[in-house]
Every structure is written in C-alpha cells, then in structure tokens.
Copies of this chain bind each other. A is one copy, B any other.
C-alpha cells in the first residue's frame, strides 16, 4: 500500500455530497436528491474526519483519514495508508464476525475514505457507560468478536503461509503501532510533553511511577511483546470508544490500528477500559451509592469478558477449525495426546491471562497520565473527585505490573479493583511510594 497523497484532499460536507452523488449505489442507499441529504461531521476521535449522512431512504457513515493526528494537529503527521489497513482489517472481520462490525460499502484509497453502513440507534459504549446503561448482550458479542477474530488469524487456525502474508501486510501499519509504542509503553513513564494528568492531585503518584524501576521494567517487557509477538490480527485499539451498541446489537468499529500482535494487548485494552469506567462511576454518582448496582454490572462484565473469551477461544482450539501449523493435529491424534494438549491449552490461556493483566495496567496508566484520556474520567468536573478515581486505577495498575502473580483469576482481578476503589491516598506532591 503506497501513500496515495497525490490525489488526496480533505473533504468538506459539500465535497462529500458531490462525491457520493457520483456513486450510484451509495446515492441510492441515501435516496432522494443529493440536496436532500443531511450531512454532519461528528468525529470525536483522535485521528479522523467522520461524517454521518441521512437521506430519505437511509443513512451512511463516512470516515476519512487526515494526514495528521487530529488530537494534536498538523505537527504530528500520520500516513493516510491507515485507511487501507482499516479497510483490510474490516474486510477480514466482516468475513469472520459479520454481525459484529459495520458493513463496508465503499473504499477510496486515494482519498483514504471508507463508507460504511450507518449504525443507528447505536451509541458509543463509553457514553452509555457514563450514563449508567447496562448492555445485557455485550459480553457475548464482544467475546465472539475476540475469540473468532484472534483464533482464525492465529497459527492455531491458519496455514503458516497465510499467517505470514497477514503479518507482512500489516507490518506496513507501523506508524500506527508507533503511536501505541510511544503513548502507551513509554511516555507515561517519562517527562513528556504529551502527558497530562489531574494536577496537582496526581503529581506525586505520577512522579512515583516515573521513578518506579519495577514498573518501568514490567512495561518495557510488555512493549517487547507488542513489538515482536506476532500472534494474531488484533483490532489494535479495542476500548469502549471503539464499540457502538444498543441493548440488542454490538459492533466493533475503527480497526485502523490493526496489526499482527499479542492477543493479550487487545484483551487488556478492553478490560482496562471497563475498569476505568468502574473507577469513574464514583464521579458520576448523584448520591453516594446510587451507582452500586451499575458498578456490580461492570465487574460482572469484566468477569464475563475474560471467562467467555477464554471458553470460546478454547472451544475453537478444540474444534476442527484448529487446522493451523501450530500444534499440528498429526502429532496429537489419540486420546492420550488430546489430554496432554488440553493441559497445554489451559497453560497457554493462563499465560495469556498473565500478559493481559500487564496490558490492562499499561492502559490504565496511559489513560490517566498519558496523552489520550477517557471522558469517563475527564467529564468528572470536580478535580479532587476525579483524581480519587484515577488514583485507584493507578494503584491497581501498579499491582498488576509489579505483582501479577498475586492475581491468578479474573475474580481476583475484580476483587483487587474493588479494594483499590476504596483507597484514599493523600493526593498532591505529598504522595510517597510507601503508600502503594
């Protein structure tokens, strides 16, 4: 995928109207005359333009990559090729989990433009969780997405040649990976311009983390996994802002960070963002305790996400779909071999869980001390209240980084989160590492 910048231009609302007027299939989907179409730019993400279009017959969603990081500005250029990688990942995901991602309707590589079905009345999950909305079908849907897309793009399912072709294609998406490498695994642990936090309340904790060599070593090991463990095609940015849903329907959007990497990275991002919502609920209560039930729902969702993902991934691995070059069937054919292989499967999942704990921690830290914060926390107006929530997230994060062996199950993880939620450290510069 080469950079198609020669013919690229950023589209305004009227450019987009005439562009779509020239695409009969898309125009028909909207219906009526182009002048009838209502077009809004609604991008609230960090990187792109997003348009919502409504016509007499229906709607469309249009995403255009900008040649720079929207959150930061033109000073941080970013290749338009990410739209190609997003499109390639979307095609793959649509083949594997058709009901769990948006349908892809059109791709224009030169314009770095993707046209998808309009998801309505779906909401970004993060907004729903701030409002305290339960999503009863979410756990089943997201664990289907994870188990199916990771398993079927791993060496457990794919012939080695196909897996390596996939690695080769997505190795080109290194500019997006580099953002993750920097803003998740490096900057929060150094003094960096991109960082921000609730100050002065978290100054002491941020300083303690920057000085904590055990933490920095643990995060650096996770970064090595991110850089070199080519396990499966990941979403690459699987947080509650990349999920749109209703109570009945769940869709995972925006796989522009897709690459072949460690499965635990994606799983960790998802669980961390649920936990960030959990810690943030204290800031959204109108009366102390009125989010108790919702908090319990979130911790149940954390449990369910791991447990059901593990079950589904294992079921796939035990199924005839496990035709990949890893653990070749021909070497494990009889009943005794199956017993040995089943022990191995459990060990692989245990190792994946341990790595997941680390990646959860890295995400908790970067969302509170790094570049891109979550509105779950940012929308808590009282800085003391917000800092208290964030401090709990950071306390859990440190435990997960320096003593992951204490957390041997997802129940232990949710218990640790509940314990850290009740923690009230002295905030400000007076925080000392002994308090961890």
Query: Which chain A residues have a beta carbon within 8 Å of chain B's beta carbons?
Result: 155, 160-161, 163-165, 167-169, 171-172, 174-175, 177-178, 181, 186, 189-190, 213-214, 216-217, 219-221, 223-224, 227-231, 325-328, 330-332, 336-337, 340-341, 344
A331 with B177, Cβ < 8 A, contacts A155-B227, A325-B223 known:
no
- Please list 14 pairs of residues, one from A and one from B, whose beta carbons are closer than 8 Å in the complex, sorted by A's number: A160-B181, A165-B171, A167-B167, A167-B171, A168-B172, A181-B325, A217-B344, A220-B326, A220-B327, A220-B332, A223-B325, A227-B325, A228-B229, A228-B231
Cβ-defined contact, B325 with A189, below 8 A? no
Measured between beta carbons, the chain B residues less than 8 angstroms from A174 are 160-161, 164-165
Interface contact B227-A163, CB-CB below 8 Å: yes
CB distance from A45 to the nearest CB of B (A): 23
Contacting residues, chain B, for A171 (C-beta < 8 A): 164-165, 167-168, 171
Bound CA span A227–B216, Å: 29
Name the distance in Å between A121's Cβ and chain B's nearest Cβ. Answer: 39
Which chain B residues border A325 with CB–CB below 8 Å? 178, 181, 223, 227
A218 to B69, CA, bound (A): 45
Query: Assuming A190-B330, A325-B223, is B336 touching A213 (CB within 8 A)?
Result: yes
Using Cβ atoms and an 8 Å threshold, which residues of chain B touch A330?
Answer: 186, 190
A155 / chain B contacts, CB cutoff of 8 Å: 224, 227-228
Complex: chain B residue closest to A344, CB-CB: B217
A221 to chain B, nearest CB (A): 8
Chain copies in complex? 2
B-side contacts of A230, CB under 8 Å: 167, 228-230
| Residues of chain B contacted by A178 (CB below 8 angstroms) | 160-161, 325
- Return the chain B residue nearest A326 by Cβ: B224
Could you list 15 further interchain pairs (A-B, Cβ under 8 angstroms) beyond the known A220-B328, A220-B332, A228-B231? Answer: A155-B224, A155-B227, A155-B228, A161-B178, A164-B174, A165-B171, A165-B174, A167-B171, A168-B168, A168-B169, A217-B344, A223-B326, A224-B327, A228-B230, A229-B229
> How far is the CB of A193 from the nearest CB of chain B, in Å?
13
**A361 CB to closest chain B CB, in angstroms?**
15
Q: Which residues of B contact A213 (CB under 8 A)?
A: 332, 336-337, 340
Please classify the interface of chain A as helix (H, G, I), strand (E, B), loop, or mixed, using the class held by over half of its residues.
helix
From B160, B169, B186, A328 is in contact (CB under 8 Å) with B186
**In the bound complex, CA of A186 to CA of B228 (Å):** 24
B186 contacts A164, C-beta separation under 8 Å: no
CA distance A248 to B216 in the complex (A): 45
A331 touches B168 (CB 8 A): no
Give the shortest distance, in Å, between A355 (CB) and chain B (any CB).
Answer: 13
Q: Which 8 A-B residue pairs are closest in the complex by CB-CB distance?
A: A168-B171, A164-B174, A164-B171, A161-B174, A213-B340, A155-B227, A216-B331, A167-B171
A338 to chain B, nearest CB (A): 10
- Alpha-carbon distance A118/B360, docked complex (angstroms): 55
A217 proximity list for chain B (CB < 8 A): 340-341, 344
Residues of B within 8 A of A164 (CB): 171-172, 174, 177
Contacts of A181 in B (CB 8 A): 160, 325
**Who on chain B is nearest to A333 by CB?**
B190
Complex Cα–Cα for A250 and B340 (A): 45
Q: Are A160 and B186 in contact (CB under 8 A)?
A: no
Scoring A186, A224, A328 by chain B CB atoms within 10 A of each residue's CB, the highest score goes to: A328
- Which among A186, A189, A228 has the highest number of chain B CB atoms within 10 Å? A228
In the bound complex, what is the Cα–Cα distance between A178 and B229 (angstroms)? 19
Contacts of A327 in B (CB 8 A): 220, 223-224
Residues of B contacting A216 in the complex (Cβ-Cβ under 8 angstroms): 331-332, 337
Residues of B contacting A341 in the complex (Cβ-Cβ under 8 angstroms): 217
